[in-house]
Amino acid sequence: MKAVVAHAFGAIEALRLQDWPDPVPGPGEVVVDVVAAGVNFPDLLVTGGRYQILPTPPFIPGKEASGIVSAVGEGVHTCAVGDRVLVLVESGAYCERLLAPQANCFVLPRGMDFLVAAGFALVFQTAYFALVERANLQPGEVVFVTGAAGGVGLGCVQLAKALGARVLAGVSTAEKGAVARAAGADAIVDLSGADLRNSIRDDVHALTGGKGADVVLEVVGGDVFDGAFRSLAWRGRLVVLGFAGGRIPNIPANRILLRNVAVIGLHWSDYREWHPEWMRRAQAELFALYEKGLLRTELAGAYPLDEAARAMAELRDRRVKGKVVLTTDLWRQRESEASST
């Protein structure tokens, strides 16, 4: 098979499409013929050797994919050969055939497109565990999402709305604000100012009658984190999802005490590894919301496997508004068959 391979940690430009051994399923394992693979910010960190869990080079990047089950090992019961599935893995999704534990394979709802599926699981699973499990979101609360025009940010906006929240979207441009509003955001917070520590707090307070945000989902870090932390309401909860802006912030513990607020971490992949049944219940709820029309993948672009570095650069350079996916020859084959019928 063909796969995108990193032979060492470093620049994404060094990634190469090359031959790689076809996987063979063992007990409890599934092989999926990949149609599309999601491109996510952690893929940049893994390739650069800056993520908390790193594979041994050479390795194939990528944490999510969609495709068709082509082989199963002994004891597999979550899917069968021929099923259309989405798959979650720690790494290895940028390829034509993906090996995964059966617990990480989810049969798609009828009518869910492969491109939609390839960008669905990671962002909405992250949003689900942030809002439901970590923040204990209640209907009617105010949720402030930073980096709200990115893949995870848009997933958080949509799910918060589906769960009955009022959503404030933090973005850096008017164009990104329009994308966030289209996803369901009720109001926009400007993240492009010079004094974000104060301006974010002031904007959120102005939009909430001085109360602040009950829940903050923070993906940027740096000065955005500082302002978002100060925007919390009394007894508010800030969930740390990442540091896409680069700087990992320091948290003033005295303000946590004086404001009765909580700063909570979410390392979503722990749930995949330690509580797979919990993750499966969450995915079932997310599929149900999708089938009701409350969730959708905001696709920003699709690239062939041999353009993986270009797709990742779009994400790295913050030119993406939504999700980027990679497609295999199987996708193009299916498209060609569909157009000829």
pLDDT of residue 206: 98
pLDDT of residue 160: 98
Q: Please identify every stretch of the chain with a pLDDT value under 70, giving residue numbers as ranges.
A: 336-341
B/e letters for 64-76, b = 16+ CB within 10 Å, e = fewer, are bbbbbbbbbbeeb
What's the CA angle centered on 120, arms 9 and 182, to 5 degrees?
A: 115
pLDDT of residue 263: 96
Is the separation of the CB atoms in 323 and 123 below 8 Å?
yes
Q: Give tens-digit pLDDT for 232-251.
A: 999 999 999 988 777 888 88
**Amino acid identity of 208?**
T
Closest CA to 214 of 203, 223, 205, 224: 205
pLDDT of residue 338: 63
pLDDT of residue 193: 83
Question: What domains sit in the chain, N to C, each tagged with a CATH number?
Answer: 2-119+297-339 (3.90.180.10), 123-269 (3.90.180.10)
pLDDT of residue 341: 58
pTM of structure:
0.91
Distance spanning both ends of the chain, measured CA to CA: 28
**Other C-beta atoms lying within 10 Å of the C-beta of residue 103:** 17
Residue 23: is the preceding peptide bond cis (ω within 30°)?
no
pLDDT of residue 122: 93
Residue 32: strand pairing partners: 69, 98
Determine the longest span between alpha carbons in the chain, in angstroms.
66
B/e letters for 193-219, b = 16+ CB within 10 Å, e = fewer, are beebeebbbebbbebbeeebbbbbbbb
